Amino acid sequence: MSIYFYSKSTAYYELSNFYHSPFINDNKSWPTVEHYFQAQKFPTDPALQERIRLAASPFDAKKLGRTKTPHFAANWEEIK
C-alpha cells in the first residue's frame, strides 16, 4: 500500500514537510519542517537561514533554499 501526502486535500498531509506545525529548535520557532530543512543548507549564513525561517510559506522557504551562494553546504547530499 502506498501513502501519498503531498496534497493538502489528501489523507496523511500532516506527514508532509509543508504541513504547518510549528516547533522550536535552538530557541527559534520554525513554522514547518520545510523551513528548517531548507535553512540547514546554509550553515555559515545565519542571515539567509533567518530569511528562510521567516519566509511566508514553505514554498517560499523552498525557493530560498535553492539560492546558490558560497555558504551552501558542500556536503549537503551526504547530510540531508
Question: Would the pLDDT of 76 be above 80?
Answer: yes
Confidence of residue 68 (pLDDT cuts 50, 70, 90): confident
Average pLDDT, the chain: 92
pLDDT of residue 39: 98
66: exposed, middle or buried (C-beta count within 10 Å: 0-12, 13-18, 19+)? exposed
pLDDT, position 13 = 85
Which residues, in sequence order, are bridge partners of residue 25? 28
Is the pTM higher than 0.85?
yes
Contact 32, 21 (CB under 8 A): yes
